[in-house]
Amino acid sequence: MSQPLIVPIGEKVKLADFDPSYKGKYKRKRDVQGKLRKTINKIIELQELLYSDSNNSLLIVLQAMDAGGKDGTIKHVMGAVNPQGCDVKNFKAPSVEEAAHDFLWRYHFAAPRKGKIVIFNRSYYEDVLVVRVHNLVQKTVWSKRYNQINNFEKMLVENGTTILKFYLHISKDEQKKRFEDRLNRTNKHWKFSDADLRERQYWDQYMEAFEVVLSKCNTKVAPWHIVPANNKWYRDLVIGKAIVKALEGLDMKYPEPERDFSDIEIKD
Ligand code: ATP
Ligand code: MG
């Protein structure tokens, strides 16, 4: 059975209905390698056009449970893009300075300028995920944020930013496997933290918090992509293709030359 990547606006998402191991018509990594390479080459080409045209920008929002594959996605899908045109912003718990502002302040500041791609590795959605799960602020405060996020995204879109939001959907078993892998390989030890195990105990609460986000903040201007992410190769292909589709949908062209070049002769 096929599984939707984007659900209809207003529909209540139940994550149990989404298979994290879904891989469409493909069976194994080998089946998509050529496609993925072509997709990445297309992104490289479109990024250059985005930069030279400089009328639009692209914000990519990545959210997932720990070990969900945010870092891997950035490395594999965006790793070959010209670093001059693409920034990655990682968001952790807010600093004292950041916490003294409204919760969207630091994200707005990091949003892409025209011509650029910015990837948010975690985002303002943490302010209704970890914050909700651990009651880091009162419910009266976080419950207003869904609407505030929708309005913020609408404002960005109206100002020329395309927003692509990806929830990398892994199973609890897959998370266990990935943590074990980090423990078993010395070159992966640095990726493991006790905090990951602490948060794993709240798996169900996180799923619930994600379901609310994926339902309430799934808007026409900035819909959520629910990406089956147990298979890294399928995840990369799905995200790569969504990026190509979004960039191809923009009205972009290389700028006209400032003058007629036909009389220019480059002397030896
Ligand atoms: P990795 O583990 O792959 O290096 P990461 O994104 O998990 O990357 P960590 O430093 O492990 O980075 O975790 C960042 C932590 O910051 C997460 O536990 C996250 O929930 C927390 N965090 C992010 N945004 C907020 C926020 N707005 N309020 C409170 N905590 C937040
Ligand atoms: Mg972490």
pLDDT single digits (tens) 94-149: 999 999 999 999 999 999 999 999 999 999 999 999 999 999 999 999 999 999 99
Distance of alpha carbon 233 from alpha carbon 66, whole angstroms:
18
Mean pLDDT of the chain: 97
Looking at the predicted structure, is the pLDDT value of residue 1 above 90? no
State the closest ligand 1 atom to the C-alpha of 134, by its place in the atom list counted from 1. Answer: 29
What is the percentage of the chain residues whose pLDDT exceeds 70?
100
User: If we measure between CA atoms, which residue out of 132, 139, 135 comes closest to residue 212?
Assistant: 132
Distance of alpha carbon 49 from alpha carbon 264, whole angstroms:
25
Which domain CATH number covers 236?
Answer: 3.40.50.300
Distance of alpha carbon 268 from alpha carbon 259, whole angstroms:
22
Q: Which two tokens stand for residue 227?
A: 């990406």
State the closest ligand 1 atom to the C-alpha of 103, by its place in the atom list counted from 1. Answer: 27
What does the pLDDT look like over 180-221, one tens digit per residue? Answer: 999 999 999 999 999 999 999 999 999 999 999 999 999 999
Give me the pLDDT at residue 136, please: 97
Q: Pick the range with the lowest mean pLDDT from 14-18, 59-63, 257-261.
A: 257-261
Give me the pLDDT at residue 250, please: 98
Ligand 1 lined by 202 (C-beta under 6 Å) = no
Residue 47 lies in a domain: yes
Residue 34 lies in a domain: yes
* DSSP H or E segment with residue 120: strand 117-121
Give me the pLDDT at residue 258, please: 87
Q: Give the residues across from 227 on adjacent strands.
A: 168
C-alpha 47: how far from its chain's center?
16
Q: Give the residues across from 64 on adjacent strands.
A: 168
Distance of alpha carbon 244 from alpha carbon 52, whole angstroms:
17
Looking at the predicted structure, is the pLDDT value of residue 49 above 90? yes
Q: What is the DSSP string of 59-117?
A: EEEEEESTTSSHHHHHHHHHTTS-GGGEEEEE--SPPHHHHTS-TTHHHHHHSPPTT-E
Residue 267 lies in a domain: no
Residue 9 lies in a domain: no
Q: Give Cβ neighbours of residue 86 (< 8 Å, ≥ 6 apart).
A: 47, 78, 116, 117, 118, 119
**Alpha-carbon torsion (72, 73, 75, 77), positive or negative:** positive
For ligand 2, the distance from its centroid to the CA atom of residue 74, given in whole angstroms, is 15
State the closest ligand 1 atom to the C-alpha of 70, by its place in the atom list counted from 1. Answer: 3
Residue 65 lies in a domain: yes
Across the range 256-264, mean pLDDT stands at 89
Print the domain residue range for 41: 15-248
Residue 190 lies in a domain: yes
Residue 254 lies in a domain: no
The total domain count for the chain is 1
Q: Give Cβ neighbours of residue 135 (< 8 Å, ≥ 6 apart).
A: none
For ligand 2, the distance from its centroid to the CA atom of residue 141, given in whole angstroms, is 25
What does the pLDDT look like over 17-47, one tens digit per residue? Answer: 999 999 999 999 999 999 999 999 999 999 9
Distance of alpha carbon 169 from alpha carbon 225, whole angstroms:
10
Ligand 1 lined by 120 (C-beta under 6 Å) = no
Distance of alpha carbon 117 from alpha carbon 49, whole angstroms:
12
Residue 268 lies in a domain: no
State the closest ligand 1 atom to the C-alpha of 129, by its place in the atom list counted from 1. Answer: 20
Region of 94 please: left (phi>0), alpha (psi -120 to 50) or beta: beta
Ligand 1 lined by 93 (C-beta under 6 Å) = yes
Which ligand places an atom closest to the C-alpha of 130?
Answer: 1
Neighbours of ion ligand 2 (CB under 5 A): 66
Tell me if residue 228 falls in helix, strand or coil: strand
Ligand 1 lined by 232 (C-beta under 6 Å) = no
